[in-house]
Structure 1
């Protein structure tokens, strides 16, 4: 994991390549490019049909080199890498897309979740924050708050959880693993209160932590994680 992070950081420090490609590749005439694009797009679709992601990715690379201004192809490539759990590659492609279009929701999602998967939390955080600002998605706000908590940025984490407690809708849900290995779905507001309690617990403020855990349990009486955390706050 440390080697993956090191390599990722090295590449992220390099200049994004998508924005440079358009000026560095000789352009084909329009008719030739159209014919080659049609062939590669057909090959890409066949590779997907026959569950051959390597060939699919190869065809996307060829389409990207030939059409550097078209972000559809790197977006598809980032998605393929992500779907195949190749998170470092997915993150790098998504970051290059964002260097051209920093409001691409798909690229933000792939960058955020991929960077989180490889343990680069400090780099994942701004993408989750941008996702929330662009979409208003409360799950992105929860992810931001949890990463802030994980990075011990407690004031930011408390601010995010308080926003989430205020803004969470009644039908917003989030899943957690139980001690038996099952998944328990709880309300987003209860999850935010539980996270708020965890932050206070880390800060050594047990009375505030206990209050937050109790409020979470009041909202979801079967919330197993909140009950376990409450015991730590006694």
Structure 2
């Protein structure tokens, strides 16, 4: 996994250095020819999607990106294709290139954050989730930020994020927890935040505070399996 992350970061660095050179080497087309080629490639891209030919769809997107480097929607579509296919390294690289141009692109932030997290590059995923929260106010992004901060042992930051969630959680905010290989339990994000707060305290050997947080989570969600298990561990 570490080798895969290293290769990803090296590839991203290389792509940043070479992107401008590559763009400069593309022949300039007159507007009429460019528009005609774009129309053909867009048609072929849609047909490839219709017939589930993902490889051809990606090829047409690469042609469109080369011809229209200023139009980020083609890169957005390419990143989504990679992401939907589970090719998270490629999805992350494309999303990061988009963010080099527009660091407020919500779709690219979502794909970069999740893909980098899946790759285990938590320190790279964290700023993407933090930016997502600042742009959208979405408590799920704040929860992911808090959990990664906890995983990286940045406990003070994690507690700050958790306390923000507890304060600002909405009744409809839910998050899923795996209870088996095939079953997920959905709980309110406030209870999830309190459960995470307990884990942070438990990591710091503050058992009394951990128990209080787990207990409060269970009071909000009486069937919260993970909080119950964590409370048992804290005793």
**Corresponding residue of 1:32:** 33
TM-score, normalised relative to structure 1: 0.96
Q: Please tell me whether the aligned partners of residues 18 and 68 of structure 1 are also in contact (alpha carbons under 8 angstroms).
A: no
Post-superposition Cα deviations, 1:123-166, rounded to whole Å, max 9, x if no partner, equal: 00000000000000000000000000111111111110010110
Question: SS where residue 187 of structure 2 aligns?
Answer: strand
Please identify, of 110-119 and 20-29, the stretch whose mean Cα deviation from structure 2 is larger: 20-29
**Corresponding residue of 1:171:** 172
**Corresponding residue of 1:161:** 162
**Corresponding residue of 2:14:** 14
Q: How does 1:95-174 map to 2 (within 5 A)?
A: 95-174=96-175
Distance change (3 Å), C-alpha of 1:19 and 1:126 = farther
**Corresponding residue of 1:222:** 223
CA RMSD in angstroms, aligned pairs only: 1.3
Q: How many residues were matched structurally?
A: 234
Shift of 1:181: 4.0
Q: How does 1:79-90 map to 2 (within 5 A)?
A: 79-90=80-91
**Corresponding residue of 1:59:** 60
Question: SS where residue 14 of structure 1 aligns?
Answer: helix
- Give me the whole-angstrom Cα distance separating, in 2, the residues matched to 1:133 and 1:180: 33
- Give me the whole-angstrom Cα distance separating, in 2, the residues matched to 1:80 and 1:3: 24
- Give me the whole-angstrom Cα distance separating, in 2, the residues matched to 1:192 and 1:20: 47
Post-superposition Cα deviations, 1:166-202, rounded to whole Å, max 9, x if no partner, equal: 0110111111111474111100000000000000001
- Give me the whole-angstrom Cα distance separating, in 1, the residues matched to 2:64 and 2:73: 10
Shift of 1:74: 0.4
TM-score, normalised relative to structure 2: 0.96
Question: SS where residue 102 of structure 1 aligns?
Answer: coil
Post-superposition Cα deviations, 1:49-94, rounded to whole Å, max 9, x if no partner, equal: 0111110000000000011111010000000000000000000000
**Corresponding residue of 1:48:** 49
Shift of 1:6: 1.7
Structure 2 runs not aligned, ≥5 long: none
Structure 1 runs not aligned, ≥5 long: none
**Corresponding residue of 2:4:** 4
Distance change (3 Å), C-alpha of 1:188 and 1:20 = farther
Q: How does 1:175-190 map to 2 (within 5 A)?
A: 175-179=176-180, 181-190=182-191
- Give me the whole-angstrom Cα distance separating, in 2, the residues matched to 1:180 and 1:119: 21
